[in-house]
């Protein structure tokens, strides 16, 4: 069953004759529980694709279905609420809220939804990511790897349908990158999460179940793990 | 050659200009702040200096001192004193009433005995010529109108004098006088002053101006005029210094107080300006940290960064200061036209410009240092809120994360910034509170009711005319006093009259310390003078009656007039005329009474003895000299008409009304309140700029942070609420400071003013002003946050997420 599906997705910037076709007719399907890597060079449109998948941006044309629901039709307010319930984001620059401590950052999406965190689940996520000792720390007081682990925990907190990761290891050294990637993979296995990750690093892409290669806003290739 | 010593000024200036061009909102705030503080400083200094100037202009044509009742020998001696610049004689005859108006016979010497009197403002003729012959007079148009004749040269006027005689005069000239008061002067000729019945027995007074008096201090001046009097044999009590002139000299209390007050207010304004400009610059620099890092990376020195920011500040001053000068100058001119002086304005302008530039430089010193201290690496990481006291951990694991709570958490992230903003907002609020409390606490009613109107709305006195005319003055009238029980009962019968308060006094001659003078004495009842009223000495009512003991009220006034004060145990000799005979008695002073006694007895003078004793000496004649009628408010119009009729029927009585007094006072108070309100609006202007700047900067510098919130699922509504609550927290902080500090300080100010005699002030919370302030201060965050959020929504969420990437 495909949890995520796009149909002829297009995103154009600017106006004629200076049109930039960031995405130019992308159609893809991603299965539930799959770990997919989107690879491509800088400016290929992979980030734009991820933003469309997560409802951060709206397509010029085409549709995005998450769990069968066409999110391209939602208004901004509904899209935001959809995002916080169904999508978990992991950004290259972590994007933690600097005024909140680690624990508060993790549960923020749940609180914004007006819900109580599922304590045992959150504890499990925290322990899996090794953040037990850091819960009361402020983000600025953490290393890059630690911050990214907090971001992963935050992405998992709402038990979303999909986790979208935008170059999650882009700011990290090789050793830490390995740890973080391992954790993303492990948690997605553990909690049966669908993960879509952007990277320009072929090596990292190797870890994924499936790779989709994108160039000039179009899917130009890909492979599936045997 | 130093690396930063080469010719790079142009580049820095160019960078500063382009930075300014790219920060419209920030510049707008800074320019407005500078313009506000400049115009405030201008208005204040122009007003004060202009006030002094207009006084100087007024006194430049005035006498410095009048030596009263001078003899020929004294005139000669004064004229010979080389400190005397000008000496002019004049005579002031007995005033009399005609149709309820006073007329005053006067004569001015045609030429000064010494010096040039042409600049002196005396009586000038606008039509015809000054009286020369015995039967010629100069009169004002108002006078002619009041007696029903045409103001024309050559017209014959007959004047009925107090002694019952009538004399005929021919109008030779019309005086240049606008008759604002009830007193009409009549100018007589020199011939008449020597031979005429009204002036021949009047001793002349000498109008004197002193060389270089303008450059003296008050004490020096007073010493000089007293010394001249001493050398010429003029008694101290006949030295009448022109107090208006004296007040324009340096060294007075009033001037010192004014200067201190102006300096304090000026420092206050500058302090608020520093806070506002500082916070605007601080926030602007915080938001440009990365930019400075980049400049540092490509090789800009710390000094050049500082120079860049300083130059930005100076460029903005160059725009804000002229605006402020123009606004402040115009307002200053309008409110103090009389005292406008280009030279003073020039000096003030230069001082204000220099002060303001220094203020701006002080304000941006710290932000410039912060900017220059940024290392390129640090700058790249700088996230806008990692400032001074960012915490490493929290106390609690978890705080409730509603939008409102998030706003609170945000407010505590940079306590210094939050505190700074709140204080600078709070100062504005406190000043506003003080200003509006002054207005709300002043009661026009009570202001006008100081003095005789304390006891009622209508004051009825014995006519001045009648008193002066009588052979034994006051006593003759009191023998058949029109202010009698019948009158009292007549008044009490008028519908709406509550009470008629009666005050009395008796005329006496007193002799003490070698002075012999006319005066009055008042009787007091047992128990009336006690407690704080009796400033020193002891009194026993019965003993006072028995042993001819007396109390002195307002003893300090004696020193001002005669140069000496009574002491306990001093003797004073009083002569009473009781209608039958003159009674002479010697009294011993046993106590001194505060001038506050006049509040309860407006007719009292210096001397107080037991009422019984006074009535006894005065043969129990009716000593009433004043009746004050208190009435029901709603019936005052009818009562006034009825009272006026009674007064008109009796030429011996005159009446003053609270209504007239209030009309005069209202004009004064409205003017004062207008100025206070104007000042408050300036102050609020600062607060608003500061608040709006903080709010906008708050949103603009945190675009990315807000986009994170939105990316992980904060809705627009939640975001809006969070931003607004953050703004409202500042507003409430400000309002709390305004209340907690403003109310006690305002209360203290009112008490202080009351202590200094403003008894008509009662602390009243300025509810309406405060509510208006609350609405303003609460509305602003709501509106500005909304507008700012709409503005940043123009950028897509994805773009905003990338801002620091």
Q: Roughly what angle, to the nearest 10 degrees, separates helices B289-297 and B302-335?
A: 140
Do the Cβ atoms of A100 and B718 come within 8 Å? no
Do the Cβ atoms of B394 and A81 come within 8 Å? no
Say whether pLDDT at A226 is over 70.
no
Distance from CA of A90 to the nearest CA of B (A): 10
Q: What does the H/E/C string look like for B415-471?
A: HHHHHHHHHHHHHHHHHHHHHHHHHHHECHHHHHCCHHHHHCCEEEEECHHHHHHCC
Going through A52-208 in order, the beta strands assigned E by DSSP cover 61-66, 69-70, 87-90, 162-166, 194-199
pLDDT in tens, B609-626: 898 888 888 888 888 889
Distance CA B88, CA B204 (A): 10
pLDDT in tens, B314-346: 888 999 999 999 999 998 888 888 888 888 899
Average of pLDDT values for B355-378? 82
Question: Which one is predicted more confidently, B693 or B77?
Answer: B77
Phi, psi of A90 (to 5 degrees): -125, 120
Q: Roughly what angle, to the nearest 10 degrees, separates helices B289-297 and B342-372?
A: 70
Average of pLDDT values for B57-70? 83
Q: Does A83 touch chain B (CB under 8 A)?
A: yes
Do the Cβ atoms of B801 and A95 come within 8 Å? yes
Distance CA B697, CA B699 (A): 5
Out of A57, A85, A103, name the one closest to residue B398 (CB).
A103
Out of A57, A80, A98, name the one closest to residue B385 (CB).
A98
pLDDT in tens, B481-513: 888 888 888 888 888 889 899 898 888 888 888
Residue B620 DSSP label: T
Do the Cβ atoms of A107 and B401 come within 8 Å? yes
Average of pLDDT values for B194-200? 85
Say whether pLDDT at B388 is over 50.
no
- For residues B120 and B207, the answer to whether their CB atoms sit within 8 Å is yes
- Across chain B, mean pLDDT equals 82
Distance CA A40, CA A34 (A): 19
Out of A81, A83, A99, name the one closest to residue B385 (CB).
A99
Out of A89, A108, A140, name the one closest to residue B386 (CB).
A140
Q: If DSSP codes are grouped into helix, strand and coil, which group holds residue B321? A: helix
- For residues B426 and B737, the answer to whether their CB atoms sit within 8 Å is yes
Distance from CA of A76 to the nearest CA of B (A): 8
pTM over 0.80: no
Which of B593, B397, B308 lies closest to A101, judged by CA? B397
Average of pLDDT values for A118-128? 89
Which of A183, A179, A177 lies closest to A195, judged by CA? A183
Q: What is the pLDDT of residue B377?
A: 67
Do the Cβ atoms of A80 and B710 come within 8 Å? yes
Contacts of B184 by beta carbon, 8 Å cutoff, 6+ apart = B101, B102, B103, B104, B139, B140, B142, B143, B146, B177
Distance from CA of B797 to the nearest CA of A (A): 7
Distance from CA of B330 to the nearest CA of A (A): 49
Prediction ipTM score: 0.83
Distance from CA of A64 to the nearest CA of B (A): 17
Which of B549, B563, B688 lies closest to B612, judged by CA? B549
Q: Does A128 touch chain B (CB under 8 A)?
A: no
Q: Judging by beta carbons within 10 Å of its beta carbon (0-12, 13-18, 19+), is residue A117 exposed, middle or buried?
A: middle
Q: What is the pLDDT of residue B57?
A: 78
Q: Does A137 touch chain B (CB under 8 A)?
A: yes
Q: What is the pLDDT of residue B253?
A: 60
Residue among A71, A136, A156, A164 with most chain B CBs within 10 A, to mutate: A136
Say whether pLDDT at B387 is over 50.
no
Distance from CA of B383 to the nearest CA of A (A): 9
Q: What is the pLDDT of residue B1?
A: 43
Say whether pLDDT at A40 is over 80.
yes
Q: Measured between beta carbons, which residues in chain A are less than 8 angstroms from residue B402?
A: 111
- For residues A109 and A153, the answer to whether their CB atoms sit within 8 Å is no
Q: Measured between beta carbons, which residues in chain B are less than 8 angstroms from residue A158?
A: 713
Say whether pLDDT at A15 is over 70.
yes
Average of pLDDT values for B760-788? 89
Confidence at B414, pLDDT banded by 50, 70, 90: low
Report the percentage of chain B scoring pLDDT > 90. 7
pLDDT in tens, B209-267: 888 888 888 888 888 988 998 888 888 778 888 877 887 777 666 566 667 777 777 78
CA distances from B209 to B72, B78, B87 (A): 18, 11, 7
Distance CA B518, CA A78 (A): 96
Q: What is the pLDDT of residue B575?
A: 87
| Residue that is written with structure tokens 């996520």 in the block | A125
Do the Cβ atoms of B392 and A100 come within 8 Å? no
Do the Cβ atoms of A104 and B398 come within 8 Å? yes
Distance from CA of B417 to the nearest CA of A (A): 15
What tokens were used for B322?
């002229």
Q: What is the pLDDT of residue B182?
A: 57
Return the residue of B nearest to A50 by Cα: B798
- How many other CB atoms sit within 10 Å of the CB of residue B59? 19
What tokens were used for B724?
């607004």
Confidence at B385, pLDDT banded by 50, 70, 90: very low
CA distances from B729 to B18, B189, B409, B419, B779 (A): 35, 78, 11, 11, 12
Say whether pLDDT at B802 is over 80.
no
Distance from CA of B384 to the nearest CA of A (A): 10
Cα-based angle B61, B67, B68 (whole degrees, multiple of 5): 115
- How many other CB atoms sit within 10 Å of the CB of residue B119? 11
Average of pLDDT values for A31-49? 88
Q: Measured between beta carbons, which residues in chain B are less than 8 angstroms from residue A97?
A: 705, 708-709
Which of B616, B608, B528 lies closest to B572, judged by CA? B608
Average of pLDDT values for B748-756? 87
Q: Measured between beta carbons, which residues in chain A are less than 8 angstroms from residue B797?
A: 56-57
Phi-psi region of B656 (alpha: psi -120 to 50; beta: other; left: phi over 0): beta
Q: If DSSP codes are grouped into helix, strand and coil, which group holds residue A39? A: strand
Q: Measured between beta carbons, which residues in chain B are less than 8 angstroms from residue A93?
A: 804-805
Do the Cβ atoms of B713 and A80 come within 8 Å? yes
Distance CA A102, CA B528 (A): 78
Q: What is the pLDDT of residue B255?
A: 63
Say whether pLDDT at B768 is over 80.
yes
- Across chain A, mean pLDDT equals 87
Q: Measured between beta carbons, which residues in chain A are less than 8 angstroms from residue B391?
A: 138
Q: What is the pLDDT of residue B386?
A: 46
- How many other CB atoms sit within 10 Å of the CB of residue B99? 8
Question: Which one is predicted more confidently, B796 or B67?
Answer: B67
Out of B397, B712, B797, name the one closest to residue A108 (CB).
B712
Distance CA B16, CA B766 (A): 45
Average of pLDDT values for B171-197? 80
Q: If DSSP codes are grouped into helix, strand and coil, which group holds residue B223? A: helix
CA distances from B711 to A86, A130, B261, B405, B704 (A): 12, 25, 55, 19, 10
pLDDT in tens, B684-701: 777 787 788 778 777 777
């Amino acid at each position: 069953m495909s949890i995520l599906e796009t149909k002829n997705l297009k995103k154009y910037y600017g106006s004629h004759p200076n049109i930039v076709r960031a995405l130019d007719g992308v159609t893809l399907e991603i299965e539930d529980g799959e770990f997919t890597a989107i690879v491509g060079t800088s400016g290929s449109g992979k980030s734009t694709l991820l933003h469309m998948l997560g409802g951060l941006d709206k397509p010029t044309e085409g549709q995005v279905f998450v769990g069968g629901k066409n999110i391209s039709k939602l208004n901004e307010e509904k899209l935001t609420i959809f995002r916080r319930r169904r999508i978990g984001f992991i950004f290259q620059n972590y994007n933690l809220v600097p005024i909140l401590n680690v624990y508060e950052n993790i549960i923020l999406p749940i609180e914004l939804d007006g819900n109580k965190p599922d304590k045992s689940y959150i504890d499990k996520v925290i322990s899996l990511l090794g953040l037990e000792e850091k819960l009361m720390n402020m983000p600025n007081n953490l290393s890059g790897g630690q911050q990214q682990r907090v971001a992963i925990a935050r992405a998992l907190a709402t038990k979303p349908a999909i986790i979208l990761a935008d170059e999650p290891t882009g700011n990290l050294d090789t050793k830490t990158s390995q740890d973080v990637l391992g954790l993303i993979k492990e948690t997605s296995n553990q909690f049966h999460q669908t993960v879509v990750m952007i990277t320009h690093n072929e090596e990292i892409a190797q870890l994924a179940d499936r790779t989709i290669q994108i160039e000039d806003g179009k899917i130009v290739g890909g492979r599936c793990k045997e | 050659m130093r690396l930063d010593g080469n010719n790079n000024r142009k580049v820095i200036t160019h960078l500063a200009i382009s930075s300014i061009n790219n920060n419209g909102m920030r510049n707008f705030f800074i320019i407005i702040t500078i313009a506000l503080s400049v115009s405030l400083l201008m208005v204040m200094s122009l007003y004060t200096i202009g006030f002094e100037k207009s006084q100087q202009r007024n006194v430049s044509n005035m006498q410095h001192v009048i030596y009263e009742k001078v003899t020929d020998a004294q005139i000669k001696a004064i004229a010979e004193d080389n400190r005397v610049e000008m000496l002019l004689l004049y005579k002031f005859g007995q005033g009399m009433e005609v149709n309820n108006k006073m007329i005053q016979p006067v004569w001015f010497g045609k030429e000064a005995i010494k010096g040039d009197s042409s600049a002196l403002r005396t009586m000038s003729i606008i039509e015809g010529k000054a009286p020369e012959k015995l039967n010629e007079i100069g009169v004002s148009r108002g006078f002619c109108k009041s007696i029903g004749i045409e103001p024309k040269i050559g017209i014959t006027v007959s004047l009925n004098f107090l002694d019952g005689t009538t004399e005929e005069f021919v109008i030779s000239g019309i005086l240049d006088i606008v008759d604002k008061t009830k007193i009409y002067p009549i100018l007589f000729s020199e011939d008449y002053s020597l031979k005429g019945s009204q002036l021949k027995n009047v001793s002349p007074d000498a109008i004197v101006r002193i060389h270089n008096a303008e450059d003296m201090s008050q004490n020096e001046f007073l010493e000089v005029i007293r010394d001249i009097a001493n050398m010429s044999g003029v008694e101290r009590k006949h030295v009448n210094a022109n107090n208006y002139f004296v007040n324009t000299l340096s060294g007075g209390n009033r001037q010192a107080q004014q200067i201190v007050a102006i300096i304090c207010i000026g420092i206050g304004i500058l302090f608020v300006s520093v806070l506002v400009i500082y916070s605007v610059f601080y926030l602007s620099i915080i938001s440009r940290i990365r930019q400075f890092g980049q400049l540092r990376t490509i090789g800009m020195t710390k000094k050049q960064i500082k120079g860049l920011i300083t130059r930005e500040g100076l460029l903005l001053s160059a725009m804000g200061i002229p605006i402020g000068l123009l606004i402040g100058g115009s307002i200053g001119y309008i409110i103090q036209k009389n005292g406008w002086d280009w030279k003073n304005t020039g000096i003030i302008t230069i001082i204000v410009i220099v002060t303001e530039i220094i203020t701006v430089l002080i304000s941006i010193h710290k932000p410039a240092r912060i900017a220059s201290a940024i290392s390129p690496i640090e700058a790249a990481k700088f996230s806008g809120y990692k400032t001074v006291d960012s915490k490493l951990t929290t106390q609690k694991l978890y705080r409730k994360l509603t939008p409102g709570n998030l706003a609170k958490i945000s407010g505590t992230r940079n306590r210094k910034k939050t505190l700074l903003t709140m204080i600078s907002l709070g100062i504005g609020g406190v000043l506003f509170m003080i200003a509006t409390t002054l207005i709300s606490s002043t009661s026009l009613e009570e202001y006008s009711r100081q003095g005789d109107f304390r006891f009622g709305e209508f004051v009825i006195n014995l006519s001045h005319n009648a008193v002066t005319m009588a052979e034994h003055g006051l006593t003759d009238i009191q023998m058949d006093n029109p202010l009698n029980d019948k009158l009292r009962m007549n008044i009490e019968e008028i519908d709406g009259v509550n009470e008629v308060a009666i005050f009395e006094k008796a005329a006496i001659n007193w002799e003490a310390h070698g002075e012999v003078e006319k005066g009055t004495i008042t009787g007091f009842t047992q128990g009336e003078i006690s407690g704080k009223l009796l400033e020193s000495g002891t009194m026993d009512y019965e003993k006072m009656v028995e042993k001819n003991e007396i109390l002195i009220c307002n003893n300090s006034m004696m020193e001002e007039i005669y140069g000496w004060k009574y002491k306990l145990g001093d003797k004073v000799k009083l002569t009473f005329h009781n209608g039958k005979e003159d009674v002479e008695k010697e009294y011993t002073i046993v106590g001194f009474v505060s001038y506050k006694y006049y509040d309860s007895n407006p007719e009292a003078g210096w001397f107080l003895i037991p009422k019984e004793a006074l009535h006894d000496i005065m043969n129990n004649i009716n000593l009433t000299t004043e009746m004050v009628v208190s009435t029901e408010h709603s019936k005052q119009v009818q009562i006034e008409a009825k009272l006026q009729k009674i007064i008109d029927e009796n030429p011996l009585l005159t009446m003053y009304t609270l209504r007239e007094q209030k009309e005069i006072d209202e004009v004064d108070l409205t003017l004062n309140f207008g100025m206070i309100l104007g000042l408050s609006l300036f102050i609020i202007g600062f607060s608003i700029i500061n608040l709006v700047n903080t709010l906008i900067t708050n949103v603009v510098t945190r675009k990315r942070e807000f986009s994170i919130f939105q990316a992980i699922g904060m809705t627009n509504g939640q975001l809006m609420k969070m931003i607004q609550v953050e703004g409202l927290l500042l507003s409430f902080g400000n309002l709390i400071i305004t209340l907690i500090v403003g109310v006690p300080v305002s209360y203290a100010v009112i008490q202080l003013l009351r202590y200094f005699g403003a008894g008509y002030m009662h602390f009243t919370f300025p509810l309406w002003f405060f509510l208006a302030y609350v609405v303003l201060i609460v509305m602003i965050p709501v509106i500005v946050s909304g507008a700012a959020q709409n503005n940043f929504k123009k950028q897509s969420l994805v773009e905003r997420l990338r801002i620091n990437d």
